[in-house]
Amino acid sequence: MTRPRPLPVDPLAEAKRQWLAHGWTDAADGMAVVTSVMRAQQLLLARVDAALKPFALSFARFEVLRLLAFSRAGRLPLSSVVARLQVHPTTVTSTAERLVRDGLIAREPHPHDGRAALLALTDAGRELVERATRALNSEVFADPGMSRDDAAELVAIVARLRKDAGDFADPRPQPDAL
């Protein structure tokens, strides 16, 4: 993937300068945080998309396949996929329909709930997600574009932001093994 030529000025720094110049001092740092995170997400997603393109997978489709591959039996209730991926049920349903159409997952009746469906990984889906995972690991995840220390610090900062926003709670302490 070719890299675009860098801009001569950081547009986000210029945006912050404009916020300050317009008297929005109390909001300038927050605007810089939000726009910086959103731009970083665009840059990372472009790398992910490039790595997944040979597999005809979007990141959403990859996430569903990877989640099913991580499960013990290669199948999960649709509601569990929605909860674990933290996306709207309509999005998961639409993604699942495309994966079913492509023969990468199958929709099965839930054994205990007649209203629910299970999503089950097919052999073709398992093979594809393993190849796609190897590509993502080597092309993106092994070198996300920052040092290990910066990556750890960024993950910790974003985790605090997510936790404070109610995205997750600390797990309950587990009792010591006997």
| Confidence label for 127 from pLDDT (cuts 50, 70 and 90) | very high
State residue 1's pLDDT score.
56
At residue 2, does pLDDT exceed 70? no
At residue 6, does pLDDT exceed 60? yes
Give the 3-state secondary structure of residue 135: helix
Beta bridge partners of 117: 109
| Mean pLDDT of the region 166-170 | 88
State residue 173's pLDDT score.
79
| Mean pLDDT of the region 4-13 | 90
pLDDT digits (tens, 9 = 90+) for 87-100: 999 999 999 999 99
Going along 29-93, which residue ranges are E strands?
75-77
State residue 4's pLDDT score.
74
At residue 62, does pLDDT exceed 60? yes
| Mean pLDDT of the region 11-20 | 96
Q: Give me the numbers of helices (H) and strands (E) for the chain, helices first please.
A: 7, 3
60, 93 contact by CB (below 8 A): no
153, 114 contact by CB (below 8 A): no
CA nearest 16: which of 2, 37, 30? 30
Both structure tokens of 63: 């996430």
